[in-house]
Amino acid sequence: MASSNVSSEKTDLLIYGPSKPLVTNGFSDQFVLHAFETKHDLERLSPAVAAKIRGAAVTFNTVRYDGTTLALFPKLEIVSTFGVGYDHIDAAYARDHNIMVTNTPDVLTEEVADVALGLLIATLREFVKADRYLRSGLWTTQIFPLSVGSLRDRKVGMVGMGRIGRAIGRRLDASRVPVVYHSRKPVAGISYQHYPDLIEMAKAVDTLMVIVPGGASTAKMVNADVMKALGPRGVIINLARGTVVDEQALIAALKSGTILAAGLDVFEKEPNVPDELKAMQNVVLLPHIGSASVVTRNAMDQLVVDNLKAWFAGRPPLTPVAETPAKAR
Ligand code: NAP
Ligand code: 8YV
């Protein structure tokens, strides 16, 4: 559904993506909102309106803001996107064209870390299979088999040790599970062992917890070689982006017993999930719900609004991305 008004004096904002009451009701009448839910809707935007747009709220990562889309708006100053991951926005193009980009870090960190630990335990201890077993009535005739996996005898290799990685690390510490990590640079002030090489880390652990950004630098970094190094007790939990794990290699590794199991919240072509994964018993599949509680999604929506409000009040944005750091305004 698309809607738009034309105004010359007020600040014209594009709202791009699924409709969000907290976003559409978040602005005073100083702003004129032009809402477009899909790329198809956006094609109906008139050049006269596009020429007025100074700010954009992107309400979900299902709409992509590539250079071609950004180029539609000659007066665009800022894109405020929902989500901490912003691989759906061409931030390099934005930087080169003096467009600020903001995201929504921190407000979702603990929520996503909760889901990561939940997904790890659900995968190891086969919660979903057990639930199906009970509902089918089988419990009345036989005891549910012992799980092969357990958190008790595991060592977790974190792929990414940023905000969410550290929050997952704290949960694993509380569960008395040893943790090491891989990232490009070691993180100051933490005691976990750093592995500059992912394969070396995979050889040293039996569990990978993947929580890095998407995009070119991480594309398929968890590949067949990493899976082989992880070995037959191996478990991969991915809450990062589907692009980070080679999905076809993962399917092959799960089928052949190269690794034991996987827990996945993200997929290469969301919302489409390969039938082969859906047919497997040794995977737990979630529909990208890492941050998907009412309280956390509301905080993310509010931050989308607050970044735009700060900018148009002449203040620096609250949470600019690394490519477009805030300057004094
Ligand atoms: P962050 O604080 O920026 O941390 C990113 C971590 O990844 C850092 O440790 C970084 O270290 C590492 N990293 C980045 N590029 C890398 C590369 N090429 N190779 C190895 N390590 C790399 O981000 P965050 O807030 O923790 O969020 C992480 C990601 O989680 C997001 O970008 C998003 O994709 C995903 N996420 C998913 C959900 C969900 O619902 N499933 C929710 C929130 C976030 P170096 O820079 O030193 O390499
Ligand atoms: C978002 C996420 O909900 O923040 C992220 O990076 O993956 C999720 O929290 C998702 O990107 C939808 O926009």
Q: Check whether residue 72 and residue 204 sit in a common domain.
A: no
Q: Are 64 and 214 in contact (CB under 8 A)?
A: no
80 domain residue, yes or no: yes
Tell how far the Cα of 295 is from the centroid of ligand 1, in angstroms.
22
CA 296 / ligand 2 centre spacing (Å): 11
- The pLDDT value recorded for residue 6 is 46
Instruction: Print the domain residue range for 163.
Output: 109-285
241 included as an active-site residue: yes
pLDDT of residue 9: 82
Can you give the pLDDT at residue 2? 46
| Residue tagged active-site, from 166, 182, 241, 297 | 241
Determine which residue's CA is closest to atom 6 belonging to ligand 2. Answer: 85
Which atom of ligand 2 approaches the CA of 297 most closely? 3
Distances (CA, A) of 64 to 17, 79, 89, 136: 9, 12, 6, 42
Residues 219, 191: one domain? yes
CA 229 to CA 192: how far, in whole Å? 20
pLDDT given at position 1: 46
Q: Which residues line ligand 2 (CB under 6 A)?
A: 60-61, 82-85, 108, 290-291
Q: What is the CATH number of the domain that holds 211?
A: 3.40.50.720
**Residue 203 covered by a domain:** yes
Distance CA 7, CA 61 (A): 28
Q: Return the pLDDT at 25.
A: 97
Note whether residue 2 is domain-resident: no
Same domain, 209 and 180: yes
Q: Do 211 and 115 have their domain in common?
A: yes
Domain shared by 307 and 232, yes or no: no
Is 270 known to be catalytic?
yes
Instruction: Answer whether residue 327 is part of any domain.
Output: no
Whether 323 is covered by a domain: the verdict is: no
Decide: 291 and 112 in contact? Cβ < 8 Å: yes
Domain shared by 212 and 268, yes or no: yes
Note whether 91 and 120 are same-domain residues. no
Same domain (yes/no): 300, 273:
no
Within-domain flag for 261: yes
Atom of ligand 1 nearest to the CA of 112: 42
DSSP 8-class letter at 27: S
Same domain, 33 and 90: yes
Instruction: Tell whether 86 and 143 lie within a shared domain.
Output: no
Nearest ligand to the CA of 160 is: 1
- At residue 242, the 3 state secondary structure works out as helix
Are 243 and 308 contained in the same domain? no
CA 85 to centroid of ligand 1, rounded, Å: 8
In this predicted structure, what is the pLDDT of residue 16? 96
Residue 75: partners with Cβ closer than 8 Å, 6 or more residues away:
51, 52, 53, 54
Q: How many domains does the chain have?
A: 2
Same domain (yes/no): 16, 93 = yes
Residues in contact with ligand 1 (CB, 6 Å cut-off)? 84-85, 105, 108, 112, 160-165, 183-185, 211-214, 217-218, 239-241, 265-266, 288, 290-291
CA gap 224, 277 in Å, rounded: 16
- Model pLDDT, residue 327: 76
Is residue 144 in a domain?
yes
Look up residue 145 and give its DSSP letter: P
pLDDT per residue as tens, the chain (329 positions): 444 444 458 999 999 999 999 999 999 999 999 999 999 999 999 999 999 999 999 999 998 899 999 999 999 999 999 999 999 999 999 999 999 999 999 999 999 999 999 999 999 999 999 999 999 999 999 999 999 999 999 999 999 999 999 999 999 999 999 999 999 999 999 999 999 999 999 999 999 999 999 999 999 999 999 999 999 999 999 999 999 999 999 999 999 999 999 999 999 999 999 999 999 999 999 999 999 999 999 999 999 999 999 999 999 999 999 999 987 66
* In-domain check, residue 290: no
Identify which of 60, 81, 84 to mutate to test ligand 1's pocket (most ligand atoms within 8 A of the CB): 84
Which atom number of ligand 1 is nearest to the Cα of residue 217? 18
Looking only at the bridges linking them, the beta strands covering 2-3 and 283-285 are unpaired
Annotated active-site residue 288? The verdict is yes
H helix runs in the chain, sequence order = 21-24, 39-42, 47-50, 67-70, 91-96, 109-125, 127-135, 163-174, 198-204, 224-230, 247-256, 275-278, 294-312
